[in-house]
Amino acid sequence: MTLRLEGVGHAYAGRPVLRDITLELAEHRIGIIGANGSGKSTLARTLNGLVVPDSGRVLLDGLDTRRHAREIRRRVGFVFSDPAAQIVMPTVAEDVAIGLRRSGLSGAEIDARVAAVLERHGLAGHRDHPAHLLSGGQRQMLALASVLVTEPEVLVCDEPTTLLDLRNTAVIEDTLRALPQQVVLLTHHLDSLADFDRVLVMDEGRVVFDGAPADAAAHYTALMRAGAAAAAPEEGRPEARP
C-alpha cells in the first residue's frame, strides 16, 4: 500500500499553499511538522481526497483521488484536531456505528465490531452516554475509534492532540503508536515523533526536509529560529526600544 503525490500544487483564492510536491509515502509511521500556515493540513487533506489538488495528482496504489474518492476515503481514515468536527451522533455507540452503515455488515456484526472498538479504546463503559458529556480526551478517543472501526489501511491525523492535556496527549499518541496500519501524524509536538520512521518538514507549501526524526526536529528548530530572528526588531535600533 503506497500513497504517492506527483507534482501536487494547490492554491486558495490564487495564493499557493502547496507547491509542486512529489513524494512517496510507504513507511509505517510518518510525521509532518511545519509552521502554522505552511500547508500541512492541506497536504494531509489531499491524501484522502478531502482536498483535490489544483495540479498534479495523489494516488493510492495507483488510484487517483480525483476519480476514486469514495474508494480512497474508505481506505484512508482522517482524524481532525477538534473531535467536534466528526462526532455526529447522539450516543457514543451510535457515533462509532455510523461509519459502518454502508459496510454491508449485519446489525449483529456492526454491534460486535462497535463493542470491540469501544473496549479496545477504553470507552466500553460509555457506550450509551451522550458523546457531548465525554471529557476532551474521551471525545478525541471516540473520534479515533469511529474512524478505526471502519478498518482503514492508512490513518491521517491532523494535530489530534492540540486540544488535549499532557496525559490525554500521551494516551492518544500511545494508541497511534500501537496501530498496525500506516499512520501519518501532523503535530507541533516534536517529541511525539521521536520513534517515527520518517518526518517531513514543511515550509511555505514545500517539503524542505525529509528524513529521520531527530534531523527533522533540528532542521525545523533552525528554520523557526531563523524566521523569528528575521521578524524581530534589530537590537539597538532606537525605534525598537519601548
- Give the interface with ligand ATP as residue ranges (CB under 6 A): 12, 17, 34, 36-42
Distance CA 43, CA 20 (A): 11
Contact 31, 39 (CB under 8 A): no
Cβ closer to ligand ATP: 34 or 53? 34
Nearest distance from C-beta of residue 95 to ligand ATP, angstroms: 25
Nearest distance from C-beta of residue 204 to ligand ATP, angstroms: 9
Cβ closer to ligand ATP: 13 or 230? 13
In three-state secondary structure terms, 91 is strand
Cβ closer to ligand ATP: 37 or 211? 37
Nearest distance from C-beta of residue 178 to ligand ATP, angstroms: 25
Contact 97, 104 (CB under 8 A): no
Helices 136-148 and 107-120: angle between axes, nearest 10 degrees: 140
Cβ closer to ligand ATP: 19 or 57? 19
Cβ closer to ligand ATP: 120 or 188? 188
Nearest distance from C-beta of residue 133 to ligand ATP, angstroms: 28
Cell 500556515 belongs to which residue?
A: 37
Residue 206's H or E segment, with its range, is strand 206-211
Q: Which of 221, 53, 77 is nearest to 155 (CA)?
A: 77
- Helical ranges in the chain per DSSP H: 40-47, 69-75, 92-98, 107-120, 136-148, 166-178, 213-231
Contact 66, 57 (CB under 8 A): yes
Nearest distance from C-beta of residue 13 to ligand ATP, angstroms: 6
Contact 79, 86 (CB under 8 A): yes
Backbone angles phi, psi at 123, to 5 degrees: -115, 5
Cβ closer to ligand ATP: 32 or 131? 32
Nearest distance from C-beta of residue 162 to ligand ATP, angstroms: 8
Cβ closer to ligand ATP: 55 or 91? 55
Nearest distance from C-beta of residue 240 to ligand ATP, angstroms: 27
